[in-house]
Amino acid sequence: MSEAVFTDGNFKSEVLDSKIPVLVDFWAEWCAPCRMVAPIVEKLAKEYAGKLKVGKINVDDNSQTPTQYGVQGIPTLIFFKGGQVAKQVVGFQPEQKLKSVIDELLE
Protein backbone atom coordinates (compact mmCIF):
# COMPACT_ATOMS: atom_id res chain seq x y z
CA MET A 1 0.00 0.00 0.00
CA SER A 2 1.58 3.27 -1.09
CA GLU A 3 -1.03 5.42 0.57
CA ALA A 4 -0.58 7.06 3.94
CA VAL A 5 -3.13 6.68 6.70
CA PHE A 6 -4.30 10.03 8.01
CA THR A 7 -6.02 10.57 11.35
CA ASP A 8 -7.41 13.53 13.27
CA GLY A 9 -4.15 13.39 15.23
CA ASN A 10 -1.66 13.51 12.34
CA PHE A 11 -3.69 15.51 9.80
CA LYS A 12 -1.91 18.82 10.41
CA SER A 13 1.62 17.41 10.22
CA GLU A 14 0.93 14.98 7.35
CA VAL A 15 -1.40 17.07 5.19
CA LEU A 16 -1.47 20.76 6.09
CA ASP A 17 2.29 21.01 6.68
CA SER A 18 3.23 18.87 3.66
CA LYS A 19 5.78 20.39 1.27
CA ILE A 20 4.08 18.69 -1.69
CA PRO A 21 0.36 18.61 -2.65
CA VAL A 22 -1.75 16.00 -0.87
CA LEU A 23 -4.77 13.96 -1.98
CA VAL A 24 -6.93 12.88 0.95
CA ASP A 25 -9.51 10.14 0.40
CA PHE A 26 -12.30 10.42 3.00
CA TRP A 27 -13.82 6.92 3.17
CA ALA A 28 -15.49 4.23 5.31
CA GLU A 29 -15.46 0.40 5.29
CA TRP A 30 -19.20 0.13 4.55
CA CYS A 31 -19.12 2.52 1.57
CA ALA A 32 -19.39 0.68 -1.79
CA PRO A 33 -18.31 3.69 -3.96
CA CYS A 34 -15.30 4.09 -1.60
CA ARG A 35 -14.28 0.51 -2.39
CA MET A 36 -14.70 1.26 -6.12
CA VAL A 37 -12.45 4.31 -6.04
CA ALA A 38 -9.83 2.72 -3.72
CA PRO A 39 -7.84 0.87 -6.45
CA ILE A 40 -7.77 4.04 -8.56
CA VAL A 41 -6.49 6.11 -5.63
CA GLU A 42 -3.84 3.48 -4.89
CA LYS A 43 -2.73 3.47 -8.54
CA LEU A 44 -2.48 7.27 -8.52
CA ALA A 45 -0.41 7.10 -5.31
CA LYS A 46 2.17 4.95 -7.12
CA GLU A 47 2.03 6.94 -10.35
CA TYR A 48 2.53 10.34 -8.68
CA ALA A 49 4.93 9.15 -5.93
CA GLY A 50 7.30 11.96 -4.94
CA LYS A 51 5.10 14.65 -6.53
CA LEU A 52 1.86 14.02 -4.65
CA LYS A 53 1.24 12.55 -1.20
CA VAL A 54 -1.82 10.31 -1.19
CA GLY A 55 -3.63 9.01 1.85
CA LYS A 56 -6.94 7.92 3.34
CA ILE A 57 -8.82 8.98 6.41
CA ASN A 58 -11.56 6.73 7.80
CA VAL A 59 -14.53 8.98 8.63
CA ASP A 60 -15.92 6.49 11.16
CA ASP A 61 -12.71 6.50 13.21
CA ASN A 62 -11.88 10.20 12.72
CA SER A 63 -14.88 12.53 12.89
CA GLN A 64 -13.14 15.83 13.63
CA THR A 65 -11.35 16.32 10.28
CA PRO A 66 -14.29 15.44 7.97
CA THR A 67 -16.50 17.80 10.00
CA GLN A 68 -13.89 20.56 9.75
CA TYR A 69 -13.85 20.26 5.94
CA GLY A 70 -17.61 19.85 5.52
CA VAL A 71 -17.46 16.29 4.23
CA GLN A 72 -21.06 15.10 3.96
CA GLY A 73 -20.88 12.35 1.37
CA ILE A 74 -18.22 9.73 0.81
CA PRO A 75 -16.03 9.08 -0.95
CA THR A 76 -14.84 12.67 -0.90
CA LEU A 77 -11.41 13.40 -2.33
CA ILE A 78 -9.88 16.67 -1.22
CA PHE A 79 -6.72 18.00 -2.80
CA PHE A 80 -4.57 20.19 -0.57
CA LYS A 81 -1.80 22.49 -1.78
CA GLY A 82 0.20 24.64 0.62
CA GLY A 83 -2.07 23.63 3.50
CA GLN A 84 -5.20 24.89 1.74
CA VAL A 85 -8.03 23.07 -0.03
CA ALA A 86 -7.28 23.36 -3.75
CA LYS A 87 -10.03 21.11 -5.11
CA GLN A 88 -12.75 18.80 -3.83
CA VAL A 89 -14.39 15.89 -5.65
CA VAL A 90 -17.37 13.99 -4.21
CA GLY A 91 -18.46 10.50 -5.23
CA PHE A 92 -16.87 7.93 -7.50
CA GLN A 93 -14.80 9.48 -10.28
CA PRO A 94 -13.03 7.72 -13.16
CA GLU A 95 -9.25 7.62 -13.15
CA GLN A 96 -8.92 10.07 -16.07
CA LYS A 97 -10.97 12.72 -14.25
CA LEU A 98 -8.81 12.42 -11.13
CA LYS A 99 -5.61 12.54 -13.21
CA SER A 100 -6.72 15.78 -14.87
CA VAL A 101 -7.40 17.33 -11.43
CA ILE A 102 -3.97 16.19 -10.18
CA ASP A 103 -2.16 17.40 -13.30
CA GLU A 104 -3.84 20.80 -12.94
CA LEU A 105 -2.79 20.91 -9.27
CA LEU A 106 0.84 20.06 -10.05
CA GLU A 107 1.25 22.76 -12.72
CATH code: domain of residue 88: 3.40.30.10
Q: Is the pLDDT of residue 101 over 60?
A: yes
Residue 3 confidence class, pLDDT cut points 50, 70, 90: confident
Q: Do strands 53-58 and 84-90 pair parallel, antiparallel, or not at all (unpaired)? A: unpaired
Q: Structural domain tally of the chain? A: 1
The mean pLDDT value for 35-39 works out to 96
Above 60 in pLDDT, residue 25?
Answer: yes
Tell me which residues are annotated as active site: 31, 34
Closest CA to 43 of 57, 52, 87: 52
Q: Could you tell me the residue range of the domain that residue 92 belongs to?
A: 4-106
Residue 29 confidence (pLDDT) above 70: yes
**Rounded mean pLDDT of 24-43?**
97
Sequence-distant (≥ 6) Cβ neighbours of residue 85 within 8 angstroms: 69, 78, 79
* 26 pLDDT above the threshold of 70: yes
Residue 1 has pLDDT above 60, yes or no: no
Segment 53-68 mean pLDDT: 97
Query: Does the pLDDT at position 78 exceed 70?
Result: yes
